[in-house]
Chain A
Amino acid sequence: EVQLLESGGGLVQPGGSLRLSCAASGFTFSTYDMSWVRQAPGKGLQWVSAMTGSGGGTFYADSVKGRFTISRDNSKNTLYLRMNSLRAEDTALYYCAKVGRSYYFDFWGQGTLVTVSS
Chain B
Amino acid sequence: EIVMTQSPATLSVSPGERATLSCRASQSVSSNLAWYQQKPGQAPRLLIYGASTRATGIPARFSGSGSGTEFTLTVSSLQSEDFAVYYCQQYNDWPLTFGGGTKVEIK
Contact = CB atoms under 8 A, between A and B. Distances in A.
Interface of A: 35, 44-47, 50, 59-62, 95, 100, 102-111
Interface stretch (B19-27, B73-81, B95-103): B95-103
A105 B48 CA distance: 10
Specify the main secondary structure of chain B where it touches its partner. loop
22 contacts: A35-B96, A44-B87, A44-B99, A44-B100, A45-B98, A47-B95, A47-B97, A59-B94, A62-B1, A62-B95, A95-B44, A100-B49, A102-B50, A103-B91, A104-B46, A104-B89, A104-B91, A105-B34, A105-B44, A105-B89, A108-B43, A111-B43
Interface residues of B, number: 24
Given A100-B49, A102-B32, A108 B44 contact: yes
Interface of B: 1, 32, 34, 36, 38, 42-46, 49-50, 55, 87, 89, 91, 94-101
B59 to A, nearest CB: 17
Contacts of B46: 100, 104-107
A62 B94 CA distance: 10
Contacts of A47: 89, 95-98
B3 to A, nearest CB: 13
A113 to B, nearest CB: 12
Give 4 nearest A-B pairs by CB, closest first: A103-B91, A104-B34, A108-B43, A47-B96
A60 B32 CA distance: 19
Given A45-B89, A110-B43, A103 B96 contact: yes
Contacts of A62: 1, 95
Contacts of B96: 35, 47, 50, 103
B16 to A, nearest CB: 28
A104 B49 CA distance: 7
B101 A95 contact: no
